[in-house]
Structure 1
Amino acid sequence: MDLEDIYQNVENKDIKDTTGARTQNHSQDEGKDGKCRGSRCLVLMTVCLGLMCVLLLVFITLYITITAERGLLKSYKNTVEEFNHTINSLQDNYTDLMTEKDQLKNNFSSLSQKKLELETRVTSLREELTREVSKRGFFFISSESMSWSESRQFCRDRGADLVIINTEEKQRHISSFVKESVWIGLSDIEIEGNMKWVDNSPLNQGFWSSGEPNSFHGTNEDCVELNPARDPLKNWNDLSCSDTKKWVCEI
């Protein structure tokens, strides 16, 4: 073998060794680069997953917040509607009350007018009654029977006295409303045959029944009754003052 060939072989061997070493080193570098890329991808994936979790949490929070706000908004809307409904109802009630107030006011005015009319009518009736009482007197008919003296005392205890009949009109009037015999305020207790009224005025006109007064059977018939069953202008009769009769008081 020539030196040139030996040299060539050595040189080729060095080249192979160098190339092999380089190839091995390159392979090792590529393995290291692969490992680095894998670590980076894992970190990136972790970061992405973390970001996704954060975004998901933010989304859930926003969803819950929006849902709650929608609920509050709906509740507020319902509250506003109920409030408006209440306001409308109160306005209707107010309108009704004002209408009722106007009606009551009108009724009050009408009643006030009627009250004035009634007061005027009552005043007129009182005046008429006063005139009638002054003209005819005010009479009270008893519901029980007493002697003439007891009857008169009953009337006097009440500010009155037995009735005095001094006109034909009054005679007819008394005879029209009594239903049975009654004492009147006429007697001759003080002087026999001298008839006087309870106010001591003399008898000027009498409305005696036929044959009266007569002191029947000689008894002292000093007091006078009125018997409505007879002729209105002829119904007086003298009786014993101790007899019991109903009576008419005159105020």
Structure 2
Amino acid sequence: MDYVNVPDTPARKGKLCRLVVVSLGLLCILQVILSISLRLALYSKTAKNLTEEENSLKRKLNVFDLYTQQGWVYFGGSFYYISPFKKSWSDSREDCLQRGADLVIISSREEQNFIRQFRGYIWIGLTDTEEEGTWKWVDGTVLNKRFWETGEPNTFGGTDEDCGEVKPREEENNWNDTHCENENYWICEKIVDL
């Protein structure tokens, strides 16, 4: 079979040119459509993220408002309830547990300084009732950060002083061991995921 060689005519060249121009035009239109689609998708995702963030902030504000209206104070990721009256250490702890919290666990110098601002003898969640001399927090962790007043803990007078309190002192180191039956103010701590 022989192929016939068709000469290029101006009409053929014109058709080829139109085909190239139309193809390029279609590619440009497709690129614009794709660009717009991607921008809309990005905008939609951004709007969704902003809505979720706004809802999260509203939830946090509602939780914050709820606790502060009930007399809790927010500091460093926890809410603190400072009692207006005095009880024994165990009764104080029971009050905290009923509030969905526990006696305060002081885990940093900043938290210690925050607690020091409240005046009066205050129960904290520290005790050595399980084993004399082994001080543990109410969550069972062994005491590692210490702010004992000089000479404390000391089991004064030979009797067991198994509960920790904060004394109303200016000094940073103001913890004391004392009898759990004494009546003090207390501070509950509740960690709330905001």
**TM-score computed with the length of structure 1 as normaliser:** 0.47
> Structure 1 CA distance, aligned partners of 2:75 and 2:115?
15
Q: Partner amino acid for 1:192?
A: E
> Structure 2 CA distance, aligned partners of 1:129 and 1:158?
15
> Structure 2 CA distance, aligned partners of 1:149 and 1:124?
34
Deviations 1:49-108 (A, max 9, x none): xxxxxxxxxxxxxxxxxxxxxxxxxxxxxxxxxxxxxxxxxxxxxxxxxxxxxxxxxxxx
Q: Which runs of 4+ in 1 moved over 6 A?
A: none
Q: Identify the residue that residue 106 of structure 2 maps to in structure 1.
A: 165
Shift of 1:135: 3.5
Q: Identify the residue that residue 181 of structure 2 maps to in structure 1.
A: 242
Matched, 1:188 2:133: no
* Aligned partner of residue 203 in structure 1, secondary structure: coil
Q: Partner amino acid for 2:186?
A: W
Q: Partner amino acid for 1:126?
A: L
Greater relative CO (CA pairs within 8 A, separation 6+) = 2
Q: Identify the residue that residue 219 of structure 1 maps to in structure 2.
A: 159
Matched, 1:202 2:137: no
* Aligned partner of residue 138 in structure 1, secondary structure: strand
* Aligned partner of residue 169 in structure 2, secondary structure: coil
Identical pairs, percent: 44
Shift of 1:128: 11
Question: Is the alpha carbon distance of 1:144 and 1:134 closer, same or farther for their aligned partners in structure 2, counting shifts above 3 Å?
Answer: closer
> Structure 1 CA distance, aligned partners of 2:76 and 2:87?
28
Shift of 1:192: 0.3
Shift of 1:134: 8.3
**TM-score computed with the length of structure 2 as normaliser:** 0.60
> Structure 2 CA distance, aligned partners of 1:246 and 1:124?
31
Matched positions, count: 129
RMSD: 2.7
Kept in 2, the 8 Å contact 1:136–1:170? The answer is no
Is the helix fraction higher in 1 or 2? 1
Computing the radius of gyration over CA atoms, which structure comes out larger, 1 or 2?
1
Matched, 1:137 2:68: no
Q: Partner amino acid for 2:106?
A: I
Shift of 1:125: 7.1
* Aligned partner of residue 152 in structure 1, secondary structure: helix
Q: Identify the residue that residue 123 of structure 1 maps to in structure 2.
A: 58
Shift of 1:123: 3.4
> Structure 2 CA distance, aligned partners of 1:229 and 1:135?
22
Q: Partner amino acid for 2:182?
A: D
Matches within 5 A, 1:27-38: none
Is the strand fraction higher in 1 or 2? 2
> Structure 1 CA distance, aligned partners of 2:60 and 2:92?
31
